Amino acid sequence: MNENLLTLQGVHTHIGAYHILHGVDLAVPRGQLTMLLGRNGVGKTTTLRTIMGLWRASQGRIMFNGQDITASATPQIASMNVAYVPENMGIFSDLTVKENMLLAARWARHAGQIDEKRLQWIFSLFPAVEKFWNHPAGKLSGGQKQMLAVSRAIVEPRELLIIDEPSKGLAPAIINNMIDAFAQLKASGVTILLVEQNINFAKRLGDTVAVMDNGVVVHAGSMKALAEDEALQQSLLGLAI
Amino acid sequence: MNKSDFDWKPVALVPVLALLVFPFIGSPSTWITLTVAGLAMGMIIFIIASGLTLVFGLMDVLNFGHGVFIALGAFVATSVLGAMGDYTGSSSLWVNMLAVLPAMVVAMLVAGAVGLAFERFIVRPVYGNHLKQILITMGGMIIGEELIKVIWGPLQIPLPLPEGMRGTIFFGDAGIEKYRLIAVVVGLLVFGVLLWVLTRTKIGLLIRAGVQDREMVESLGYRIKMLFIGVFVVGSALAGLGGVMWGLYQQNVVPQMGAQVNVLIFIVLIIGGLGSTTGALIGALLVGLMANYTGFLVPKAALFSNIALMMAILLWRPQGVYALSK
């Protein structure tokens, strides 16, 4: 079995007239949490959307679990047990929390068919999901919506979780909850690719790291090594962790 | 949504409008007659508009050719009912239904099948471009009208009500045409089925989610294009059913009838909030009532009244009465 669950080789992405990704090379090791770091506008979100097939790679190759998914449609990629939480969380605000969860449980026709054991595990990670089960998702706070977005992504067992800035705009206490939840997910063996601006978040969770600049990955290695090298942090991110 | 969270204000607009015009009409019996006529007209418009609002909400497609399915349904009904004269001539409503129900089913099947082809060859090439959608779907409607003329001829064809559906039922002094009551019942049935599908089934859940954020629905692993084709076909079939109802309501059909009803449908969708089924029902009832009240009170203002109603609603809620979160 390949030790990398996901690899991108020389991926270019154009959005209209704009050339956003200029040959991204990225490896996401199986069973690890990979942080994708970089300043605003360097192409992190575009990289995630290109992996999911929401934007088409104009050049290069994306391999998932040994399969070439470069030209695959988004539903096909998602069906390979890849879950995606976008930056805006993608919550269906006119639906209830229960209905949001039911949609993500693809084989369940009603809420009673969602795996009860897994649901209880999710409730233990994110109690707000249980508390507001029958409430419209649009009425939740930002933190609760983020919890719902992550819960929805893990309502079925996934091989890869792709999450875009889960801590954005959240209160520190909620961020700590989120870190605990990701630590548990990681311990369960799920591979996670996470875009994050919150450096503490990255330092506490990341196994491996890739740093992007101007549409390419300019550094890849272990999170621990980056966290210990202040000069490297300054040169890559313009700040010290 | 919890019952307590449901926004009842738009629903209240229907009785409020009816009560507001009562003093101007004066006679309670005339008011009842006009109100039931308005509700019946509104229900038929709702049947036609319900599919279109989902098509717009789900795929952001402006289908100005929806009217062709209305005309098609009505013309198919002339053929089916014409061949079942023994049943339509009976004074028994139940015997009449043995002809009207097959006419409805055949009209829905034909309109649905043509809808499938319409989506594949006319709508699919112009996804994401509203201007092209408007132009090409209007062109599609013109071609559809011409094909109807080729098959059924360019002239008006009478579509008389079956014997058992004619006549008036009196409640005190208020006379209510039987067919209008039937239209209200059919409209309520369609609304009930749509509401059940949308709120109680996984397909309905996917449609509601797709109306809000189709990209996220795809990211969850669902092929929304297949869902859209299904909704387009059902929407076309419902327009065909609406065409049968509208043709029987007018008691004649012309190839241009779809284009004539199109304006009313878009007013309904804009009032209701694009993509909202409940909004389409409220919009249709308001338009139906307004058309009948102004037709009686100020006939010269009848055409303008629904535009004025739409403007008033948009001043109150610019996204329509039930704006969807996008």
Per-10-residue mean pLDDT of chain A, 241 residues long, equals 87 93 95 92 95 96 95 96 94 94 92 92 91 93 91 93 88 83 88 87 89 93 86 73 53
Report the alpha-carbon distance of residue B277 to residue B162 in Å, rounded: 31
| Residue among A195, A164, A158 at smallest CA distance from A77 | A158
Token match 């003329």: residue?
B149
Question: Distance (Å) from the C-alpha of residue B278 to the closest C-alpha of chain A?
Answer: 13
Is the pLDDT confidence value at B68 over 90? Answer: yes
Looking at residues B213-229, what average pLDDT do you find? 92
A74 contacts chain B (CB < 8 A): yes
Whether residues A78 and B220 touch (CB distance < 8 A) is answered with yes
DSSP string, B50-78: HHHHHHHHHH----TTTHHHHHHHHHHHH
pLDDT for the residue B1: 46
Whether residues A102 and B202 touch (CB distance < 8 A) is answered with yes
Report the alpha-carbon distance of residue A199 to residue A192 in Å, rounded: 17
Whether residues A94 and B222 touch (CB distance < 8 A) is answered with no
Whether residues B216 and A74 touch (CB distance < 8 A) is answered with no
pLDDT for the residue A75: 96
Looking at residues B262-276, what average pLDDT do you find? 90
Q: What is the percent of chain B where pLDDT is above 70?
A: 98
Q: Which two tokens stand for residue A161?
A: 């979780």
Q: Where are the beta strands (DSSP E) in chain B?
A: 157-158, 168-171, 174-177, 252-253
- The three-state secondary structure class of B221 is coil
Report the alpha-carbon distance of residue A97 to residue A118 in Å, rounded: 16
B215 contacts chain A (CB < 8 A): yes
Q: Which two tokens stand for residue B224?
A: 């929304």
Looking at residues B215-239, what average pLDDT do you find? 92
Report the alpha-carbon distance of residue B143 to residue B147 in Å, rounded: 6
Across the beta sheet with A67-68, the strand order is A18-29, A4-15, A57-64, A67-68
Question: Distance (Å) from the C-alpha of residue B205 to the closest C-alpha of chain A?
Answer: 7
For A204, phi then psi, to 5°, come to: -75, -25
Looking at residues B304-312, what average pLDDT do you find? 91
Whether residues B325 and A84 touch (CB distance < 8 A) is answered with no
pLDDT for the residue B326: 62
DSSP string, B287-320: HHHHHHHHHHH-GGGHHHHHHHHHHHHHHH-TT-
Residue A26 pairs with which residues in a beta bridge? A8
Looking at residues B283-311, what average pLDDT do you find? 91
| Residue among B156, B186, B189 at smallest CA distance from B260 | B156
As a whole number, the mean pLDDT across chain B is 90
Name the residue of chain B whose CA is nearest to A136's CA: B1
Hey, what domains does chain B have and what are their CATH numbers?
27-316 (1.10.3470)
Helices A172-187 & A142-153, crossing angle to 10 degrees?
A: 10
Assigned CATH topology for domain A1-81+205-241: Rossmann fold (3.40.50)
Residue B170 pairs with which residues in a beta bridge? B175
A55 contacts chain B (CB < 8 A): no
Looking at residues B67-90, what average pLDDT do you find? 91
Residue A22 pairs with which residues in a beta bridge? A12
Q: Which two tokens stand for residue B197?
A: 């599908």
Report the alpha-carbon distance of residue B183 to residue B269 in Å, rounded: 20
* pLDDT tens readout for residues B46-55: 999 988 888 8
Contact between residue B42 and residue B286 where contact means Cβ atoms under 8 Å apart = yes
Burial of B39 (0-12, 13-18, 19+ CB in 10 A): buried
Contact between residue A34 and residue A210 where contact means Cβ atoms under 8 Å apart = yes
Is the pLDDT confidence value at B262 over 70? Answer: yes
A84 contacts chain B (CB < 8 A): yes
Report the alpha-carbon distance of residue B29 to residue B27 in Å, rounded: 6
pLDDT for the residue A241: 53
| Residue among A144, A37, A165 at smallest CA distance from A97 | A144
Distances (CA, A) of B62 to A121, B36, B192: 44, 31, 25
Residue B296 has a CB neighbour count (10 Å cut-off) of 18
If one compares B118 and B300, the residue with the highest pLDDT of the two is: B118
| Residue among A21, A38, A48 at smallest CA distance from A215 | A21
pLDDT for the residue B301: 85
Looking at residues B157-181, what average pLDDT do you find? 88
Q: Which two tokens stand for residue B280?
A: 């389409």
Whether residues B2 and A135 touch (CB distance < 8 A) is answered with yes
CA A193 to chain centroid, in Å, comes to: 5
B323 contacts chain A (CB < 8 A): no
A96 contacts chain B (CB < 8 A): yes
Report the alpha-carbon distance of residue A152 to residue A125 in Å, rounded: 12
Confidence (pTM): 0.85
Q: Where are the beta strands (DSSP E) in chain A?
A: 4-15, 18-29, 33-37, 57-64, 67-68, 82-85, 160-164, 191-195, 208-213, 216-222
Report the alpha-carbon distance of residue B295 to residue A5 in Å, rounded: 69
Determine the residue among A50, A74, A97, A99 to mutate to test chain B binding: the one whose Cβ has the most chain B Cβ atoms within 10 Å: A74
Q: At B144, is the pLDDT very low, low, confident or very high (cuts 50, 70, 90)? A: very high
The angle subtended at Cα A63 by Cα A59 and Cα A65, nearest 5°, is 170
| Residue among B123, B156, B72 at smallest CA distance from B231 | B123
Report the alpha-carbon distance of residue A186 to residue A32 in Å, rounded: 7
Is the pLDDT confidence value at B127 over 90? Answer: no
pLDDT for the residue A239: 63
Report the alpha-carbon distance of residue B224 to residue B235 in Å, rounded: 16
Report the alpha-carbon distance of residue B303 to residue B306 in Å, rounded: 7
| Residue among B178, B177, B179, B176 at smallest CA distance from B29 | B176
Q: What is the percent of chain A where pLDDT is above 70?
A: 98
pLDDT for the residue B3: 47
Which residues in chain A have their CB less than 8 angstroms from residue B208's CB?
Answer: 92, 94-95, 99
Contact between residue B46 and residue B284 where contact means Cβ atoms under 8 Å apart = yes
For B262, phi then psi, to 5°, come to: -50, -40
Q: How many residues does chain B have?
A: 326
Radius of gyration of chain A (CA): 18
Q: At B117, is the pLDDT very low, low, confident or very high (cuts 50, 70, 90)? A: very high
Which residues in chain A have their CB less than 8 angstroms from residue B217's CB?
Answer: 103
